[in-house]
Amino acid sequence: MTMALGAKPFRRCGGLLALAAAAALLLAGCDSAGAGGAAAAAVAARPAPAVQPVPDPSLLPADLRAIIDKGELTVALYADDRYPFFYKNSRQELAGGDIDLATDIAHQLGVEPVFLRTAATFDEVVDQIVRGEADIAVSKLSVTLSRARKVKFTSPYLVLSQALLVNRTQLAKTGREADDPLRVIDSLGAKVGIRQGTSFVDYADNLFPDAEKALYDDTGKMVDDLLQGKLFAILYDENEIKRTIYDNPQFAISLKTVLLQGQRDPLAIAVAPDNDQLLYWLNLYLNLKYDGNLPRIDDWLTTYPSPEGSP
């Protein structure tokens, strides 16, 4: 299995595979704040080294014991590919940073991962956790206050920047090219495109409350409208904005990329609100794995080759 740069590999030994049991004992001394979908939608992970089961699952709290008893960790994923997080590689296997992360989590629990890919939006991924269709969501899932009403999030495992793709002609007409683009958009009540069902619906309300927001189900249509001047800008994460220009270099003549400094887009793992022990175990896992040195998006772009030839 390919490890993300900056990550510390676990040794697959009995002690670490019993991390769930150890976490249960640690949590006892402190306070803590049915798989669904068609069978065809549950995609098994790539072959990996055999895992060693937890010695005595009966000692575990109910949420972890349920996973151990069924022998698999059901992981909710957004249905479409999002390189380098999750995508089909040239061999039509699931690959990417989220896939490797979820696979290692499953193996450390002593089970195999099964990926559920039926969610049409990222918000639907969250709803699958709420309905009990999956145990965890590792799906380029941004942390937002509205989502946190339904599920609990781990600490972030990767942090992106929010970004804008701005129509150069529309910006030039304002005569304010040197100004903060967020202030320009908000003061003009400019029209901004946002992908429906993403965290950026929430982010947009905070960044420019007086702007006109246009929600899109299709990213291609959204970019087309931006090129035609029907939108002033698009709000998305830095990876999606950069990939749009990389895949279509001719767009750089008409569109300007703006990284929003200080506007973070933290990605985390989601669990059901009652699964406190699983949440505790996952946070301990992330702390031991990364030791505060989270991978960067550039690390994953280097580690995971894209079948489309992206960087």
Cα 2 from Cα 64, distance rounded (Å): 26
50-81 pLDDT, tens digit each: 565 666 878 899 999 999 999 999 999 999 99
In a domain, 106, yes or no: yes
- In this structure, the answer to whether residues 134 and 278 fall within a common structural domain is yes
Alpha-carbon 58 to chain mean position: 32
Q: Are strands 152-153 and 270-271 parallel, antiparallel or unpaired?
A: antiparallel
Cα 95 from Cα 73, distance rounded (Å): 17
DSSP code string of 149-216:
GTSEE-S-SEEEEEEEEEEHHHHHHHT-TTS-HHHHHHHHT-EEEEETTSTHHHHHHHH-TTSEEEEE
pLDDT of residue 26: 41
Q: What is the pTM of this model?
A: 0.78
- In this structure, the answer to whether residues 151 and 282 fall within a common structural domain is yes
pLDDT of residue 9: 42
With a cut of 90, say whether residue 3 has pLDDT above it.
Answer: no
Residue 162, φ and ψ in degrees, nearest 5: -75, 155
In a domain, 103, yes or no: yes
pLDDT tier for residue 136 given thresholds of 50, 70 and 90? very high
At 237, which amino acid appears? D
Q: Say if CB 161 and CB 260 are below 8 A apart.
A: yes
- In this structure, the answer to whether residues 259 and 275 fall within a common structural domain is no
Q: What percent of the chain has pLDDT over 90?
A: 71
- In this structure, the answer to whether residues 102 and 171 fall within a common structural domain is no
The total number of structural domains in the chain stands at 2
Q: Which of 214, 257, 218 is nearest to 238 (CA)?
A: 257
With a cut of 90, say whether residue 16 has pLDDT above it.
Answer: no
- In this structure, the answer to whether residues 193 and 277 fall within a common structural domain is no
pLDDT of residue 90: 87
Cα 93 from Cα 45, distance rounded (Å): 8
- In this structure, the answer to whether residues 151 and 186 fall within a common structural domain is no
With a cut of 50, say whether residue 24 has pLDDT above it.
Answer: no
Q: Which of 33, 258, 267, 231 is nearest to 159 (CA)?
A: 267
More confident residue, 24 or 271: 271
Helix axes 19-27, 62-70, angle to 10 degrees: 170
Residue 249, φ and ψ in degrees, nearest 5: -60, -25
182-236 pLDDT, tens digit each: 999 999 999 999 999 999 999 999 999 999 999 999 999 999 999 999 999 999 9
Query: What's the distance, Cα to Cα, between the start and end of the chain in Å?
Result: 20
pLDDT tier for residue 165 given thresholds of 50, 70 and 90? very high
Q: CATH code at 68?
A: 3.40.190.10
In a domain, 5, yes or no: no
Q: Count other C-beta atoms under 10 Å from residue 259's C-beta.
A: 14
Which residue has tokens 């990329």?
257
- In this structure, the answer to whether residues 39 and 187 fall within a common structural domain is no
Cα 25 from Cα 226, distance rounded (Å): 55
In a domain, 311, yes or no: no
Structural domain that includes position 130: 14-157+268-303
More confident residue, 40 or 145: 145
- In this structure, the answer to whether residues 175 and 90 fall within a common structural domain is no
With a cut of 70, say whether residue 308 has pLDDT above it.
Answer: no
- In this structure, the answer to whether residues 136 and 283 fall within a common structural domain is yes
In a domain, 168, yes or no: yes
In a domain, 137, yes or no: yes
- In this structure, the answer to whether residues 200 and 297 fall within a common structural domain is no
Contacts of 39 (CB under 8 A, 6+ apart): none
Cα 263 from Cα 207, distance rounded (Å): 9
In a domain, 310, yes or no: no
With a cut of 90, say whether residue 43 has pLDDT above it.
Answer: no
Look at 106-120, 147-161, 206-220, 292-306 and tell me which has the smallest mean pLDDT: 292-306
32-49: buried (b, 16+ CB within 10 Å) or exposed (e) per residue? eeeeebeeeebbebeeee
- In this structure, the answer to whether residues 211 and 99 fall within a common structural domain is no
Bridge partners (DSSP) listed for residue 114: 44, 74
pLDDT tier for residue 270 given thresholds of 50, 70 and 90? very high
- In this structure, the answer to whether residues 207 and 243 fall within a common structural domain is yes
In a domain, 117, yes or no: yes
